[in-house]
Each structure stands twice: as C-alpha cells, then as structure tokens.
Chains A and B, each alone.
Chain A
C-alpha cells in the first residue's frame, strides 16, 4: 500500500500556532481522503518552526468504483420530463436507461458507474484546496501573490508511492508554488536542497541537515540536556512545561547552553527574576537543590552549533538578561517608594467595566463585602476591609505592569516591606486563589474573606448585567470564580447561605442597574436565583469530579431552599452512604414502587392522593405498622435535620425499610373497597413525603 508524504515549507511559523496547525493538517487531509473513499492505515503530523509535515501510511492506489442509480420519470411521461432526466443523468438516449417497476407501474432508472480515480489525482486536487483555506489564527499575503498562509510559503513536498518503489511527485501548483520532492535543512548549518522519498528518508536526511522533525523529540532533547547541564553545575532545573513547549517551537536544532548573571540581582524576588527571564528571554532558571533558592545562572536554548562553541551566544543572552534584570530591579526599588494606599486614588480613573463602574468603585464594594463576610469566616472585620482595599493596589506598580502573572504576590511583598500586618499582606496574594483546579485554596480567614468578596462581586456584577458564560465563551472567567467560591466554602467548612446572604449582599452593593425587563434576553427569575442555579451546576461538576453521584446532588438540590453548600455536600454524602446499605437500596426500591403505583393510579383517577390517611380505615396490621413507622420516622428525621445530623436522619429513614417491605408483601393497594384503596394510596404518598425531608428520591437513579 502506498504512502503519502507532504511538507509545507515556509518562513517561521509562530510557536504558539504550531501544534494546532499540525493537528489541523492531519485532520483536514485524512478527512478529505476518507470522504473520497480512501481509507488509510496510519497518519502522523510533524512541525518545526519552518515546516508542517504529514505522512500518511497505507493508502489504496485508487478510489473504489461507485455505482450510482438515478430514478427517472414514469414510462410514457411527457417528453420534457424524459429530456430533463437524460440531461441530469448524462445519458444520450432513453434506450440507455433501464426500466424498473414499483406498485405504481414502470419507471426509468439510469445506472451510471463512476470509476474510482487514482489516489494521486485525488491528492493533487484536495491539497491545494486545503492549503488555500487552512485555518490559521492569523494569515497573510506576500510579494505579488494572492496566496494566504501564516508566513510566506516557499516550497511543497508531495510524494506518493508504495514502500518498495520510488515514489512519484504528486504535481500541483498553489499560487505559484509547485509541488516537488525537495526541501531545505537548517537555515545556517546546512546548505543545498535535499531530495526526499518518504517519511523515513525525509526525517533521516533532515536530521543530517540539522533539523529535528519531531517537536516531542526536540522537547526531550532540550529537557534532558538542560537537566544534565544543571546537574553538572550542582544545580537543578526549574521545570516549566509551557516554556519547554514554546522553546521547542522556536528551534529546529536545539542546542542547550548555560549563562550567568550577577549575584546582586538575586535580591529581586525570585518570581520576578523567573518571569523576566522566562517571558522576555524564553530561558529557564536554575535553583540550588539544597536551599531551593534561585541560582544566578540560566539555561538558554539556541538554534545553532556555533563555530565558537556558543560563547558569543551565551555572552549576548547574558547581556540582555542583565539589562532586563536591571530594569526589574529598578522597578522593584521604585515600586517600594510609593505606599500601596497612596496608589488607590488612581483607580478612580480606571474603568473596570463600562456598566459596572470604576475599579475604585469595585474595590469599595469588595471592601464592604469582605467586612460583612468577616464574621462568617472568623476574620477580623477591620483587617478584612483593609486587606480588600489594598489587594488590587499592586496592579498599578511597575513590576506588575511588566509581569501581570506576579500580581497579588507583589502586593504581598510591597505590603510586607511597608510593615503592613502579615494577614492583610497575605490576602493580596491569596485573594486570587484558587486560580485553577489544582491551585491551593486559601484558609487564612482574612484571605478567605477577600477572596470570597472579590469573586462574589464579580459574579453578582456580571449576572446583574446579564453577561454570563455561554458555551465555550467565558471571557470573565466566571465559571472559575464560582468554582473558587465553592471550593473556599467547602474546604473551610463555611456556613454561608448563598441566596439571601452572599448573593443578595453582593448584588445590593452594585451600582444602579437597569430594570431587568429592559435588559436583552434577561432571565425571568431573579439574578440571585439564576446565579444559584449556576452554582448548582458548578457544584455538580465539582462533586462528580470528586467521585460523588450527580443524581444525588440533583436529589438534594431539588429540595426547597438549599443554598448552604456545606449542608448540601454533607447531605449528599450521607445519602450516598445510606444508599450503599441494604436498607437504603431496599427503601429506594420501596419508594420507587410506591411512586410508580401512585403515578399510575393518580393518572388513571385524574387526582392526587395527598393528605393524611384515615387511621380508622387502616385494616391490615402491616399498613397500621407502616403508618406508625412513618410518623415516628418523620419526627426523628425532623429532629435530626434540625441538629444537622444527616447520618441520624438516614438512620431514622432506614427504619422505614422493614414496614415498607412488609406493606408491599402483604397488602394489596388496589383493594376492592374504594375507601380502603384511597386510604392506602394516601399511605403510599406519605412514604413519598417522608423521604422528601431528606432528598427528592424521584431524582435518584437505580
């Protein structure tokens, strides 16, 4: 079976686009082949800064033949219809058509056989159209041509042929670039064209011409060399996957070198050193394995085996890093000359969101909310308020302006340098947490108050102006904010009612909002209820990831007034444990049976069987026992719930199992006596009601 090799050789492709482009190329080409009836055995895409390549293994030499039937008009139909059919089916005369019949009589049918085309022909057609419409995030024209590509496209390899033979070039022309079987190696360390056949010799010859085709291999080389060099220096590499991925997209032939900067710069916070070196220079930092502190050395990845052994490259990079660190040091020193408090008035000129006012107004709201939440989280209200007021101040510092990812952290450093209380200072860093699913959840009370206030204000604000996340779009990271609130509340076991407490407070603090009726597509329910629904969905996702059953979450959420996350989770846990027991399983089965019978009979009778069963009409001992058991269980459950002891509530409910089983064993619900039947149905309804104190059992699966 023949193989296809494709290479699109261009000027430097932005590193951030490379992976996706390789995937897109593979998908677009293989999909198009499969659509054309060409099924392949395997495909692999490659990318370097200057080339996108694709190898498809095991393609058939031609497409399968296709038989096509076209139904025509009835025999004896008017001539116009016949002529139209002939034209559409590509027939010369009606004698070429066959006649078939169905229930209504004879009709014409044209059977055309479409010969499968040679795979090469299909490829020659589909590659140009894929190249012309390739989904680059940004693309451009160059010279006098009209072709669009991420950067000027210089040459194309497209070969096709069986493993054992010399493959042929699939010929086509895309905007003046003709396909062939040659390419170039490393820009500096190779010369002349390379002629290739298929993947194996392509990759081998590129390697000889100082190009490592596979991005993952480049990553491995960089990582292994960087670790070895670090080790040789008695140091340890600070690993950074995102940087590694990026750097592997900046070189075709990675050469790892180590450079040095002055020890004096180590006075700058290590996060700032790392950010400077990483973002501006795409270099890795090293640390001392014993102390864990940064070393005054860095790892750079060049694209060249330099004739001087890399001395000039090292010196050049070190020179730039020195200049960058001088800037950083200057920023760090300058920033500490202005107190955080003194920066605040500037926020009055900065808009947070056109409908939600200035940053200053937002900070005021967060401060107020943090103070109100303080007692709930056992924080000192005055500290919480002060911390909230200062938490964003570092956004106006030079260091954060330069390196946004150290926001919060710098605030902490500056606050500590000013001699501000450590709890208040720490909140600056921690109030942004948790940033992602793996990030730490703050636990210091002041940090917790500010973190909650910050997130709740954001959520309330965007809910009030109805700019909620939709599908994959969540520009204000509201899902992350809600999940953050959930994790903070649960991890710290905070008893914070959301609906009437947190949400209403946050919403009330917002600037005057337009009447929801005038907001486009505003939901019919209040923002706080809508927001609670959003939290419910987030909580479900969160608990499911933590291993809980989503139906149990639903069953608890379906109850009225569930807005206390800690209680919800405890109830879900207790319910889950209960349902794992024999009693639980049987009671659930009994419940389902009761609910089924009820729904059938209620439907039949077009009524609902609510209300107390009449004790005098209870005849069978089992139904008497059940009625009594329900009463006892209900009062026990209520008492247990009042003391928030969900385990006890479940145990009380477990006591229903035997009477329920006994009832279904011995008692016929649909008794002949109408009154007895009605009474028994009411009894069934009482089972439904009793369980509803704990959860909506109708939402539980199984």
Chain B
C-alpha cells in the first residue's frame, strides 16, 4: 500500500509521482535514462526512442522528457496548458505480450486502482509527420480523462519497425493533477511538503511560462530561427555525408550527432510556427524537410554498430 502521509507519495507530490514511475519501470527491467539535453516537442524525439525503435536489438527504457510546445503557451493563465511540460516515456522493444497489464500495474503504483477507477483504452492512431512515424494504439482514459498514450510503433523514420516497440507516454502534470485532486496545474504540490516548506508547480514554473509565452509568440528572433533551421538542416546532411566509413555506404559512424541537428531544426520550426511566420503552404514543406532529415538519420543509424543487428 502507498503511504499517503509520505511526502513522496505520488498523490502528495509531483516528484513523488515521477519517482514512483521511475521505480516501477526500473523494477521491470528498464534502463532509466535522464532527459535528453536538447529542446524537443515530445519524448518520442529522444534518440532513445526515435533511433532505438529501429533495428532488431531489444531495448527497454524509461525516462522523463521535458517537452516544449511553443504554441501551447498561455502566459501562465490557463490552468491546463503549458508550453513546457513533462512527459514520462517508456519504450519496450519488442513489445511484451503483457504490456497492457504492465501499464495497469504502473497506474496502481501511482495510486490509481483499476477496481475503483474506470480505465479504458480508446482508439487513437498516432502519427508524427515530422518523424515519418506512425503506430496504432489507444489513448488511455481514467474516469473519462486521457492520462496516457499507448502505441505500437509500426514505422519510424520511414522504416518498418521489426520488432515492434510498445510506447507508453504519460502526461505527468495531468496525472499529478488527478491523483492530487487539483484543478490548476500551478497548484500542484511539487515536493510534498506543507506550510512554508511546500513548493508548488507554480513556484517552479509560472515565471518561466510567462516569460517563454512572450518569447514564443512575440519576441523570438525569427531571422535567427530561419537561419538556425537552415544551418541545422545543412549540418545534419553534412554529418550524415561525412559519417560513412571509408566513404562507402555500408557502415555509419555519426548518426547521433546528425540526428541532434534534426532535433534542432524541428524545434526552430516549432518556434517559427508559434511566431506565426510560416504560412499554411510553407508549413507542409518545413515538415517534409524535417522528415527527410529524420529518415536519413534513421537510415544511417541502421548502419551503425549500435543500431544494426
């Protein structure tokens, strides 16, 4: 049983929730990674997902990934929307037959008992045009609220996934709000303490949400961002070209640094998009350009020692 008086109980603190998930998935044999040190829109962009989902090698990993969605900023005024939030990402490759059960156990580990709460798997097909990826699965509902995405990857970077990875993505703030019974994300108890020692999500992030919303919508330097996009794009291609061992397209030595540039290009695009300087028609072409990079990185990764059979 979970001790509800413990500050680190998942229903008392945001960090307790994260720790409970970390412990749960560590005990199920996952490698617990730390967040990738780059700006990205979702945990799926982490090379531990995008690249490791490719190729035949088994891979079980879990990590928190700060996710930046510049357009979702609301200057700290919306109780549910953030331009920076945390995803908890789990990749199990190959997807085990009991993945749904494992997921339900993980919910139990954070205090959501399936005998009290109505957990449902509602159809939701996942697609990331920028990553050339798609999969089938569900959004997982707890008492009518979407708390996770559950996806069986079919294709990533344009390549068929064989074996198939199972991906679980938990929206941590939303889950925490539910288990803490809080209506406003900024009211979340972050550290589980009370009185003077209590630290809320707002204490940690409200200032940042205000500042970044202004930045994302009003000030971010678009000339620089256009330039950054181009530079990242060309660097990505350059590293991919330079990475072939002995100039032969048989073994690649630099898929990861090239992929970093793909992540950079994607984030620059997201910022340009939130600044409203990309037209509807251009939008599609930018997405395609990032996808081409992702595909080329995926192809290179499959030729690395780490990525191939």
User: Chain A contacts of B161 at CB under 8 A?
Assistant: 141
Interface check B163, CB cutoff 8 A? yes
One of A297-305, A359-367, A474-482 contacting the partner: A297-305
**Distance of A395 from chain B, by nearest CB (Å):** 15
Size category of the A interface is: 35 or more
**Distance of B65 from chain A, by nearest CB (Å):** 24
**Distance of B76 from chain A, by nearest CB (Å):** 16
Q: Do the beta carbons of A303 and B118 come within 8 Å of each other?
A: yes
The A contact surface, by secondary structure, is loop
User: Chain A contacts of B94 at CB under 8 A?
Assistant: 142-144
Number of A-B contacts defined by CB within 8 Å: 102
Q: Do the beta carbons of B152 and A140 come within 8 Å of each other?
A: yes
Q: Do the beta carbons of A281 and B164 come within 8 Å of each other?
A: no
**Distance of A437 from chain B, by nearest CB (Å):** 30
How many angstroms from the CA of A282 to the CA of B162 in the assembled complex?
Answer: 35
User: Chain A contacts of B122 at CB under 8 A?
Assistant: 12, 250
Interface check B215, CB cutoff 8 A? no
Size category of the B interface is: 35 or more
Interface check A501, CB cutoff 8 A? no
Interface check B197, CB cutoff 8 A? no
User: Chain A contacts of B80 at CB under 8 A?
Assistant: 323
Q: Do the beta carbons of A11 and B145 come within 8 Å of each other?
A: no
Interface check B193, CB cutoff 8 A? no
Which one of A14, A49, A142 has the greatest number of beta carbons of chain B within 10 Å?
A142
Q: Do the beta carbons of A11 and B280 come within 8 Å of each other?
A: no
Interchain CB contact (< 8 A) of B154 among A140, A250, A303, A308: A140
Interface check B250, CB cutoff 8 A? no
**Distance of B176 from chain A, by nearest CB (Å):** 14
Given contacts A11-B121, A144-B94, A308-B116, contact A315 B143 (CB under 8 A): yes
Interchain CB contact (< 8 A) of B280 among A141, A150, A319, A349: A349
Interface check A647, CB cutoff 8 A? no
Interface check A66, CB cutoff 8 A? no
How many angstroms from the CA of A249 to the CA of B144 in the assembled complex?
Answer: 15
Q: Do the beta carbons of B96 and A143 come within 8 Å of each other?
A: yes
Interface check B95, CB cutoff 8 A? yes
Q: Do the beta carbons of B120 and A250 come within 8 Å of each other?
A: yes
Given contacts A144-B163, A152-B97, contact A349 B279 (CB under 8 A): yes
How many angstroms from the CA of A542 to the CA of B152 in the assembled complex?
Answer: 47
**Distance of A11 from chain B, by nearest CB (Å):** 6
Interface check B117, CB cutoff 8 A? yes
Interface check B253, CB cutoff 8 A? no
Given contacts A138-B125, A141-B154, contact A313 B95 (CB under 8 A): no
Given contacts A143-B164, A321-B144, contact A306 B136 (CB under 8 A): no
Interface check B38, CB cutoff 8 A? no
User: Chain A contacts of B116 at CB under 8 A?
Assistant: 306-308, 312-313
Interface check A320, CB cutoff 8 A? yes
List B residues 79-105 near A (Cβ within 8 Å). 80, 94-97, 100, 104
List B residues 98-137 near A (Cβ within 8 Å). 100, 104, 114-123, 125, 135-137
User: Chain B contacts of A150 at CB under 8 A?
Assistant: 136
User: Chain A contacts of B36 at CB under 8 A?
Assistant: none
User: Chain A contacts of B137 at CB under 8 A?
Assistant: 151
Interface string of A134-156 (1 = CB under 8 A from B): 00001111111000001110100
**Distance of A32 from chain B, by nearest CB (Å):** 27
User: Chain B contacts of A319 at CB under 8 A?
Assistant: 143, 145, 178, 183
How many angstroms from the CA of A438 to the CA of B279 in the assembled complex?
Answer: 41
Interchain CB contact (< 8 A) of A142 among B114, B115, B125, B164: B164
How many angstroms from the CA of A350 to the CA of B117 in the assembled complex?
Answer: 44
**Distance of A22 from chain B, by nearest CB (Å):** 17
List A residues 315-357 near B (Cβ within 8 Å). 315-317, 319-321, 323, 349-350
List B residues 31-54 near A (Cβ within 8 Å). none
Q: Do the beta carbons of B144 and A140 come within 8 Å of each other?
A: no
Given contacts A143-B94, A151-B136, contact A316 B143 (CB under 8 A): yes
Interchain CB contact (< 8 A) of B97 among A138, A143, A304: A143
Q: Do the beta carbons of B152 and A152 come within 8 Å of each other?
A: yes
Interface check B138, CB cutoff 8 A? yes
User: Chain B contacts of A320 at CB under 8 A?
Assistant: 143-145
How many angstroms from the CA of A150 to the CA of B118 in the assembled complex?
Answer: 23
How many angstroms from the CA of A349 to the CA of B135 in the assembled complex?
Answer: 32
Q: Do the beta carbons of A142 and B152 come within 8 Å of each other?
A: yes
**Distance of A659 from chain B, by nearest CB (Å):** 73
User: Chain B contacts of A281 at CB under 8 A?
Assistant: 144
Given contacts A141-B162, A349-B279, contact A188 B114 (CB under 8 A): yes
Given contacts A12-B138, A142-B95, contact A312 B117 (CB under 8 A): yes
How many angstroms from the CA of A549 to the CA of B152 in the assembled complex?
Answer: 56
List A residues 11-27 near B (Cβ within 8 Å). 11-12, 14-16
**Distance of B154 from chain A, by nearest CB (Å):** 6
User: Chain A contacts of B145 at CB under 8 A?
Assistant: 316, 319-320
User: Chain A contacts of B120 at CB under 8 A?
Assistant: 250, 303
How many angstroms from the CA of A321 to the CA of B183 in the assembled complex?
Answer: 12
Q: Which residue on B lies nearest to A14, using beta carbons?
A: B123
Q: Do the beta carbons of A140 and B136 come within 8 Å of each other?
A: yes
Q: Which residue on B lies nearest to A314, using beta carbons?
A: B143
Q: Do the beta carbons of B142 and A316 come within 8 Å of each other?
A: yes
Q: Which residue on A lies nearest to B96, using beta carbons?
A: A143
**Distance of B277 from chain A, by nearest CB (Å):** 14
Interchain CB contact (< 8 A) of A143 among B95, B136, B142: B95
Interchain CB contact (< 8 A) of A15 among B114, B123, B154, B163: B123
Q: Do the beta carbons of B163 and A143 come within 8 Å of each other?
A: yes
Q: Do the beta carbons of B117 and A306 come within 8 Å of each other?
A: yes
User: Chain A contacts of B125 at CB under 8 A?
Assistant: 138
**Distance of B275 from chain A, by nearest CB (Å):** 17
How many angstroms from the CA of A143 to the CA of B138 in the assembled complex?
Answer: 17
How many angstroms from the CA of A151 to the CA of B178 in the assembled complex?
Answer: 28
Q: Do the beta carbons of B135 and A154 come within 8 Å of each other?
A: no
User: Chain B contacts of A187 at CB under 8 A?
Assistant: 104, 114
How many angstroms from the CA of A553 to the CA of B121 in the assembled complex?
Answer: 53
User: Chain A contacts of B115 at CB under 8 A?
Assistant: 188, 304, 306-307
User: Chain B contacts of A49 at CB under 8 A?
Assistant: 121
User: Chain A contacts of B280 at CB under 8 A?
Assistant: 349-350
Which one of B95, B97, B114, B178 has the greatest number of beta carbons of chain A within 10 Å?
B97
Interface string of A280-293 (1 = CB under 8 A from B): 01110000000000
User: Chain A contacts of B162 at CB under 8 A?
Assistant: 141, 144
How many angstroms from the CA of A144 to the CA of B94 in the assembled complex?
Answer: 6
Which one of B137, B143, B163 has the greatest number of beta carbons of chain A within 10 Å?
B143
**Distance of B71 from chain A, by nearest CB (Å):** 14
How many angstroms from the CA of A558 to the CA of B97 in the assembled complex?
Answer: 67
How many angstroms from the CA of A14 to the CA of B123 in the assembled complex?
Answer: 5
If A152-B95, A312-B117, A313-B116 are given as contacts, then 20 extra A-B residue pairs at C-beta distance below 8 Å, sorted by A number, are: A15-B123, A49-B121, A138-B125, A138-B136, A139-B136, A141-B152, A141-B162, A144-B94, A144-B164, A150-B136, A151-B137, A152-B152, A282-B144, A306-B117, A306-B118, A313-B144, A317-B144, A320-B143, A349-B279, A349-B280
Supply 20 A–B pairs (Cβ within 8 Å), ascending by A: A14-B123, A49-B121, A138-B125, A141-B162, A141-B164, A143-B163, A151-B152, A152-B97, A188-B115, A250-B120, A281-B144, A304-B114, A304-B118, A306-B118, A312-B143, A313-B144, A316-B145, A317-B143, A317-B144, A319-B145
The 8 closest A-B pairs by CB, nearest first: A316-B143, A14-B123, A317-B144, A12-B121, A302-B118, A144-B163, A140-B136, A143-B94
- B residues whose Cβ falls under 8 Å from a Cβ of A: 80, 94-97, 100, 104, 114-123, 125, 135-138, 142-145, 152, 154, 161-164, 166, 178, 183, 279-280
- A residues whose Cβ falls under 8 Å from a Cβ of B: 11-12, 14-16, 49, 138-144, 150-152, 154, 187-188, 250, 281-283, 300, 302-304, 306-308, 312-313, 315-317, 319-321, 323, 349-350
